[in-house]
Amino acid sequence: MSNYVFIIDAQKTPMNPIHPAQARKLLEQGKAAVFRRYPFTLILKRAIERPIVHPLTLKIDPGSKVTGFALVTDRDEVIWGMELKHRGQQIKLAIDSRRSLRRGRRNRNTRYRQPRFLNRSRPQGWLAPSLKHRVLTTETWVKRLRKFAPLGEIGQELVKFDTQALDNPEISGCEYQQGTLFGCELREYLLEKWQRNCAYCGIENVPLQIEHIHPLAKGGSNRISNLCLACEKCNIKKGTKSIEQFLSQKPDLLKRILAQAKRPCLDAAAVNATRWALFNRLKETGLPVYTGTGGQTKYNRTRLGLQKTHWLDAACVGITKTLQVLTERILNVTATGFGPRQRCQTDKYGYPIKHRPLRPILGFCTGDIVRADVPKGKYQGTFTARVCPMSDGRGEFIINKKRFSVRLDYCKAIHRKDGYSYV
C-alpha cells in the first residue's frame, strides 16, 4: 500500500488526499495533472466551489537524526507517512573545517586581528547551526504539507516525563513517575544509548532487560550511568558478578562498555535542546498544537502492536485509542542542502585545488532530479536520478553505487533541486 496522493483544485486549494487508484483514474481521464513529484501531488483542471474537506492531524516525532511525520484522519486512519533524515553532523563538520581554515590563515605571517567572539552576544534561545537546522527543516515541511493537505491541528512529541497530577492530585515524590508509563522513559533512553542490542553479546531483535553494570548486591546504584541493556542469557550468566570479573577475558569489550556507560546520549541531548524551539515555531503557524510524551508514544505503539519506525512513532503521538494504518510505502527524504557557495575548492590546508563552474549548465543544477532517455550506447534506456551537470555538457549520475555520465541533451527535469533528496 502506497501513500495517499495529495490533490489540490485549480485555485490551489488543498483537498483531502485520495487513494492511489483514484489518482490513476483522474490522470487517465485527463481531469488532473501532476503538480509536484515529491511529495506526489495532483492538481485538478477545474476549480471546486466550497469543497467538503475533513481536517487532518499532522503528527511529528522529532529526532536527532530522523524525524517522523504522519497524517491521521478524524477516524484514526494513517494515510500518509514520511521520514526526514537531517544533516546536522555534516553541518558540524563543515563548520569545523571552516574554523580550521580561518585559524590557519590567522596563524600565518599576517597582521594581528582581534578575535571576533569578544564583541558578540548570543540572543536568548540561541541554538547551534547543527541544531537549528533540525528545527528549520521540520518547519519547512510543515509549511509545505499545509499547502497540499487540509491540516486541522499538529501533534508533537515534546515533554520527557508523564505528569499524572490530573488523575491523582495527591501524587508526590517518586510516585509522580510511577504510573501506567513507569519505566518507559528510562527504557527508551537506554535503547537509544545502547543501540537496541545487548551490551555484552551484541545480539539484536530480542527482548532486552535493564542490567546493572555494578550489581546492587555489591553497592551499585540505580543511576543512569550504571545501567545498560542485556539479553536474558547474558543477564543470568552475569548474575551478581562485577563487570571486571564477568569480562575478565574480554578487556576490549570491558573498556568499551565502561566508556559507553559514562558517555551522554548525544541524540537525546539534541532533541532536548530543540524541542521547545520547534514547539514555538509550530505555534507560529496558527494551527492548534498539542504535545505528548516519549513514554506515551512507546506505550501506544506497543499496545497497538506496531513496528518501531519513526513515522509510526509519529502516528502514536498523544492520546491514541486505535489506529488503522492504510499505508506502508512512505516517502523517505534526506536533507542535502544547496551546496557551498564558494567557487574555489581547497585542500585541508586551505590551498586552492580546483574551481567550480558557474551554474546552471544547460539549464541544470546539481541536485535536480531528471529523467534520462538514452537512445543508444552503453547506458541505453530510461532512468530517473539526481544529476550533477559538468562543463563539457554531460551529466553525472550515481545509481546502485555506480558512477557514470550521459549527455545532458538526453535529460528532462522532473523536479528542481530544493535541498532534499527523495526515495
Degrees to nearest 5, angle at CA 285 with 282 and 288: 70
The x, y and z cell numbers of residue 192, run together, are 537509544
pLDDT of residue 80: 96
Mean pLDDT of 373-391: 89
Mind listing the pLDDT tens digit for each residue in 315-324? 999 888 899 9
Phi, psi of 44 (to 5 degrees): -70, 155
pLDDT greater at residue 78 or residue 294: 78
pLDDT of residue 354: 84
Residue 4 has pLDDT above 90, yes or no: yes
Residue 192 has pLDDT above 80, yes or no: no
pLDDT of residue 160: 54
CA atoms of 3 and 357, how far apart (whole Å): 39
Mean pLDDT of 393-419: 90
Mind listing the pLDDT tens digit for each residue in 59-94? 999 988 999 999 999 999 999 999 999 999 899 998
- Among 119-133, 223-237, 258-272, 303-317, which stretch is predicted with the lowest mean pLDDT? 258-272
pLDDT greater at residue 389 or residue 49: 389
The x, y and z cell numbers of residue 389, run together, are 551537470
Mean pLDDT of 184-209: 82
pLDDT of residue 414: 92
pLDDT greater at residue 265 or residue 421: 421
pLDDT of residue 389: 92
Binned at pLDDT 50, 70 and 90, residue 178 comes out as low
Residue 359 has pLDDT above 80, yes or no: no
Which residue carries 548525544 as its cell?
A: 266
CA atoms of 421 and 333, how far apart (whole Å): 6
What residues does 332 pair with on adjacent strands?
Answer: 83
Which residue carries 488526499 as its cell?
A: 17
Mean pLDDT of 189-193: 79
Residue 50 has pLDDT above 60, yes or no: yes
Provide the mean pLDDT of the chain: 86
Closest residue by Cα to residue 229 from 213, 217, 245, 215: 213
Mean pLDDT of 404-423: 91
pLDDT of residue 352: 86
Chain-centroid distance, C-alpha 361: 32
Residue 173 has pLDDT above 70, yes or no: no
* Topology classification of domain 344-422: SH3 type barrels. (2.30.30)
Binned at pLDDT 50, 70 and 90, residue 169 comes out as very low
Which residue carries 552475569 as its cell?
A: 238
Mean pLDDT of 332-345: 86
The x, y and z cell numbers of residue 351, run together, are 590551498
Mean pLDDT of 402-414: 91
CB neighbour class for 317 (10 Å; exposed up to 12, middle 13-18, buried from 19)? buried
Mean pLDDT of 211-217: 89
Which residue carries 509510526 as its cell?
A: 312
Q: Where are the alpha helices (DSSP H) in 195-330?
A: 232-238, 243-246, 251-262, 266-283, 294-304, 310-315
Binned at pLDDT 50, 70 and 90, residue 295 comes out as confident
Residue 32 has pLDDT above 80, yes or no: yes
